[in-house]
Amino acid sequence: MSEADLSSRIDGIRQLGSVVRAMTGIAGARARTARAQIAAVEGYAATLADAHAQATAGLREAEATPSSRPALVVFCAEQGFVGGFSERVLDGLAEGSPDADIFLIGSRGAAIAAGRGLAPIWLAAMPSRSASLPRFANRLLDAVFGEGKLREVSVVHTIWSQGQGRVQRLALFPLTSTSTPMAPHQPLTNLPAADLMASLGLDLLHALVTRAALLAFVAENEARMAAMSAATRQIEEQLAGLEALARRLRQEAITAEIIEIAAGAMAARG
């Protein structure tokens, strides 16, 4: 390898390192923002759950009989550079609900699912901004209940904890009964009990779906940060090796030039 080729390769690797660091920074910023939003959504969901429990205290809630196939909402990766993120999520589907309608989120995951012969009934790209996820949850629930029929809803997504991802599956609907004790006095309401229960239940379901989407969003960006961190180490090692080679080549060129000058001087004396 010539010195010019070596210098060009070093410059290219340095530029690649700059791109990787930029991607790491963007992923980190997105993950931090989404984590703060998760705390807000969890507080909102807890308030809704408490309100739902108080509104239904002392009332016998009618059993909602699902009239359609169960829905399984699956959150995969939207973009690449996340290792086996989507593969681990899709591996978990092999164990569960072959009779469920799959609603798959994430363009990269959709491509991998297609390669496995998996055919979701609904596909969507994951929003690039976590602030867009509540609106996205509305669109998702519209698709899930598009026929106006009740169905069981479960979600599969990744949770990032202690530097690694863990795939989690949760049943979201029908809503599970809470253990909140009955209030001493029935709260004052202006809506019929059934309408109030349905409205609070839908809001709570929306909050739970938004939370799942935020957790998946965080996990994807954390996985990308981990992949970029490994790439950075590899780039630094390769760059160090090339720079050492460049120094050795320069030293050899200087030594050869000194030898040539010395040989010329000796020949001139002779």
* Residue reference for tokens 């920074």: 25
Give the pLDDT confidence score for residue 90 in this predicted structure. Answer: 92
**Which residues contact residue 18 at a Cβ distance below 8 angstroms, ignoring those fewer than 6 apart?**
none
Q: Which CATH number fits the domain that encloses residue 160?
A: 3.40.1380.10
Q: Structural domain tally of the chain? A: 1
The structure's pTM equals: 0.82
The whole-number pLDDT of residue 201 equals 86
Domain presence at residue 30: yes
**Strand-by-strand arrangement of the 71-75 sheet:** 122-124, 101-105, 71-75, 153-161, 164-173
Give per-residue pLDDT as tens, 63-84: 555 557 899 999 999 998 898 9
Q: Using CA atoms, how far apart are residues 106 and 212, in angstroms rounded to an integer? A: 14
Q: Specify if 255 maps to a domain.
A: no
Largest Cα span, the chain: 117
Q: Which whole number is the average pLDDT over 101-123? A: 93
Predicted confidence (pLDDT) per residue in 127-143, tens digit:
999 999 999 999 999 99
- Which pLDDT belongs to residue 216? 96
pLDDT at 180: 46
82 within some domain: yes
Contact 220, 31 (CB under 8 A): no
The rounded distance, in Å, linking the Cα atoms of 117 and 15 is 38
User: Is residue 199 in a domain?
Assistant: yes
Residue 100 forms part of a structural domain: yes
Q: How far apart are CA 264 and CA 159, in angstroms?
A: 71
* Cis status, amide bond into 120, omega within 30 of 0: no
What residues make up the domain containing 50? 21-177+191-226
Amino acid 179: pLDDT:
45
Tens digits of per-residue pLDDT, 24-76? Answer: 999 999 999 999 999 999 999 999 988 878 777 655 554 555 557 899 999 99
pLDDT at residue 256, as a whole number: 84
Inside any domain, residue 197: yes
Question: pLDDT, tens digit, for every residue of 197-240?
Answer: 778 889 999 999 999 999 999 999 999 999 998 888 888 888 88
Residue 127 lies in a domain: yes
**Cα separation, 178 vs 198, whole angstroms:** 15
Quick check: is 204 in a domain? yes
